[in-house]
Structure 1
Amino acid sequence: MTQPSATTANALTAISEAGVSVWLDDLSREALTSGALQNLIDTRSVVGVTTNPTIFAKAIAEGNAYDTQLRELAASGTALDDAVLTLTTDDVRNACDLFAGIHAATGGQDGRVSIEVDPRLARETQATIASAHTLWDTVDRPNLFVKIPATVEGLPAITAAIADGISVNVTLVFSLDRFRAVAQAYIDGLELAHQAGKDLSAIRSVSSLFLSRIDTQVDKALAEIGTEEALALRGKAAIANARLAYEVYEEVFATPRYEALAAAGAHTQRPLWASTGTKDPAYPDTMYVDELVVADVVNTMPAKTLEAVADHSPADGTDTVHGTFEESRQILDTIERLGVPYGKILEGLEDSGVDSFEKSWAELLGDVTDGLAAAGS
């Protein structure tokens, strides 16, 4: 990870002051021990971290930062799944400690570190709930977010986790209908937590709406249609979808049902913009940051996107979401009118997202298996 200077992060400062929480979509032991992550906190306005199985697989496969612990785990005969749990939760716990000051200073809103339940459980409600409890108890830090996928089976798991006082980052959200369902699952959980006498002010949640994956698939369909009107809509679906999700956010968390919970100390479930690295080199590499500046959101960025924003983003803190809702509706309506199977694309993205994380989890298991074997030989 490159060492940033303090003089090039004006856009990051501006969007942070506008209410966008800048989180890093990456974590490794090397970044923790070298001071690189602390440097990003100091110079890049980074106030949180998200992880996923792909990130952990990459971190453990590269370098030798985990060698000592792998030797210890091998010597003690630790089982594979337990070894993976130990390796990943140790990193997340240490990151939580690094962000503890930010967590305290923001009243619990930021300074958050996310870890995902085993993606093989994405279609199993009860197993997901059990995994969420294991991660919450093992990391044992108040600024943890447990990531639960927004599958149909994941929705009741979100409610159950929130009801038990576990803060949740809901991942793999694509459609507006699912975004709304996730918000309702959160509110359901808050009501149960309140009935059980839990402190609602200690419970937090974000709903992670994925961006670039939508444009990748919608753009393919628009290119196949090939008309001037269709081609002009490339790169517009994901941002329109996210802007309309923010409209849903404002609607849901202005209802009397939620306001009663807010009076008891509850917080809204903030939208989180995920998958913010552009896939098409024809698009500005800061597009999913510049076009989604608005208060009360999180933007989690890969390191490359974070540096691009610091280097050349035109964002100055101006709200780029309010006032766009009707235009956004027209964009998505036109995409569907042209024959793009937009709903089916979003359904497919959820399935492929789960499959992708399962594949990364298998890679993670393989990397740890190899590491344990090498350490024990």
Structure 2
Amino acid sequence: MTQNSRTQALHDAGVSLWLDDLSRDRITSGNLQELIDTRTITGVTTNPAIFAAALSQGTSYDADIAELAQKGATVDEAVVRLTTDDVRAACDVMAPLYQQTAGVDGRVSIEVDPRLARETEATVEEAKRLAETVGRENVLIKIPATKEGLPAISEVIAAGISVNVTLIFSLNRYREVINAWMIGLERARDAGYDLSTIHSVASFFVSRVDTEIDRRLDELDLDADRRAALRSRAGLANARLAYRIFTDALDTERWRLLAAAGAPVQRPLWASTGTKDPQLPDTLYVVGLVAPNTVNTMPEKTLEALADHGEVVGDTVQDGYDDADELLDELGRLGIDYQDVVTVLETEGLQKFVDAWNELLGRLSQSLDAAR
């Protein structure tokens, strides 16, 4: 099969394309392998909403649910079994890429129970259990970047487990995530782990920033032209400034010591890259965030839009720092409180994950009852 020229161009520009979706049908039908072969997909991310959607469609899980019901499994036991089975199978599909890229790509992410996001030790225990249950080197354990999640990130990395830090909106929180990652690597090094095997990405959410800031702009008394000039620009600006933090962090003696010990970089991962506003270009958060050593995880709709008409023109991040600084400053002068925005987004984002998890448990509970 031949790779799509547009997705290949993004890959060649230093961006790994990861699919933000997973289902058993996608694995067993060969669709995931097809996306690897034709759309340059080199990884997969999941979250509770994705699993809830997968379990609600088709009959792929019926036999397993019947077996679990017969064994008297609880709904919590069943959800772990079904989700880790899918992630393990996806890891196996991705294994050749994992080998070819020395562990950089070929990754599949699975998230800890989001209800634990405010509990450090419970998150650590769950992360270790998930890594052991999946039992694949190329799994990434997703841990939300809450205040309580930061020490959990360090502890899990210190145990030699690769981590996808998720739900990052704030530049200050991203700095804390980088510090937590380095603390974990330093502890792992001191404990004798091979740092070259401990990979990490930091998932920085993009489109939701525009959704919240555009809502606040619409509440201000601005003329139409001024509002239009500011709308739907903050998401890209915020992400571009995050990339500046990333490159600055690598230009430190602390990082150089870890790199000398074999540590791979923690790449920024652009998440929430499907456009929420139908008036925006559907590849806005893909072609607008092209830079080396990054990942863009996108839903299939966005991936296909990129393959059809996305224009990759090289690095679109590193020349935009001044404009990004000025935009966020201007929003602040207009009274839009950046810290309040990112706090609201983290709170709402976490609640969406919890709601999706509870929906997943509810549907699975009904299916288990019906099978019994």
For the residue of structure 1 that corresponds to 2:230, the secondary structure is: coil
- Report the Cα offset of residue 191 of structure 1: 0.3
Alignment of 1:230-249 (within 5 A): 230-249=227-246
- Report the Cα offset of residue 230 of structure 1: 3.2
Distance in 2 of aligned mates of 1:161 and 1:253: 22
Alignment of 1:134-153 (within 5 A): 134-153=129-148
1:271 lines up with 2:265 in the alignment: no
Distance in 2 of aligned mates of 1:257 and 1:315: 34
Distance in 2 of aligned mates of 1:34 and 1:243: 37
Equivalent position amino acid for 2:199 in 1? R
Distance in 2 of aligned mates of 1:224 and 1:55: 33
Query: CA offsets, 1:86-126, max 9 Å, x none?
Result: 00000000000000000000010000000000000000000
Partner of 1:28: 23
Distance in 2 of aligned mates of 1:241 and 1:87: 36
Distance in 1 of aligned mates of 2:2 and 2:281: 23
Equivalent position amino acid for 1:135 in 2? L
Partner of 1:344: 340
The structure 2 residue matched to 1:327, chosen from 323, 327, 330, is 323
For the residue of structure 2 that corresponds to 1:232, the secondary structure is: helix
Alignment of 1:211-230 (within 5 A): 211-225=206-220, 226-227=222-223, 228-230=225-227
- Report the Cα offset of residue 300 of structure 1: 0.1
Partner of 1:300: 297
The structure 1 residue matched to 2:10, chosen from 15, 18, 37, is 15
Distance in 1 of aligned mates of 2:22 and 2:178: 27
Query: CA offsets, 1:133-192, max 9 Å, x none?
Result: 010000010100000000000000000000000100000000100011000000000000
Equivalent position amino acid for 1:85 in 2? V
Q: Do the aligned residues in 2 keep the contact of 1:230 with 1:338 (CA within 8 Å)?
A: no
Distance in 1 of aligned mates of 2:272 and 2:290: 16
For the residue of structure 2 that corresponds to 1:293, the secondary structure is: coil
- Report the Cα offset of residue 15 of structure 1: 0.8
Alignment of 1:173-212 (within 5 A): 173-212=168-207
1:125 lines up with 2:124 in the alignment: no
Partner of 2:351: 355
1:71 lines up with 2:69 in the alignment: no
1:47 lines up with 2:42 in the alignment: yes
Equivalent position amino acid for 2:333 in 1? R
Distance in 1 of aligned mates of 2:180 and 2:190: 16
Distance in 1 of aligned mates of 2:174 and 2:7: 26
Unaligned stretches of 5+ residues in structure 2: none
- Report the Cα offset of residue 222 of structure 1: 1.1
Q: Do the aligned residues in 2 keep the contact of 1:223 with 1:231 (CA within 8 Å)?
A: no
The percent identity for this pair of structures is 54
Distance in 2 of aligned mates of 1:222 and 1:282: 16
Distance in 1 of aligned mates of 2:349 and 2:67: 34
- Report the Cα offset of residue 229 of structure 1: 2.3
Partner of 2:364: 368
Partner of 1:315: 312
Q: Do the aligned residues in 2 keep the contact of 1:222 with 1:231 (CA within 8 Å)?
A: no
Query: CA offsets, 1:287-343, max 9 Å, x none?
Result: 000110111000000010000000111114x11111111111011111111111222
Partner of 1:105: 100
- Report the Cα offset of residue 231 of structure 1: 2.9
1:91 lines up with 2:86 in the alignment: yes
Distance in 1 of aligned mates of 2:74 and 2:251: 48
TM-score (ref. length: structure 2): 0.98
Partner of 2:283: 286
Query: CA offsets, 1:3-43, max 9 Å, x none?
Result: xx857x22210010111000000000000000111110110
Q: Do the aligned residues in 2 keep the contact of 1:230 with 1:335 (CA within 8 Å)?
A: no
Query: CA offsets, 1:56-91, max 9 Å, x none?
Result: 000001110100100110111111111100000000
Distance in 2 of aligned mates of 1:323 and 1:128: 38
Distance in 2 of aligned mates of 1:342 and 1:294: 25
Large movers: runs of 4+ above 2 Å: 226-231
1:80 lines up with 2:75 in the alignment: yes
- Report the Cα offset of residue 257 of structure 1: 0.6
For the residue of structure 1 that corresponds to 2:50, the secondary structure is: helix
Distance in 2 of aligned mates of 1:109 and 1:369: 37
Unaligned stretches of 5+ residues in structure 1: none
Distance in 2 of aligned mates of 1:38 and 1:354: 31
Q: Do the aligned residues in 2 keep the contact of 1:119 with 1:361 (CA within 8 Å)?
A: yes
For the residue of structure 2 that corresponds to 1:99, the secondary structure is: helix
- Count, aligned residues: 370
- Report the Cα offset of residue 224 of structure 1: 1.6
Distance in 2 of aligned mates of 1:6 and 1:239: 31
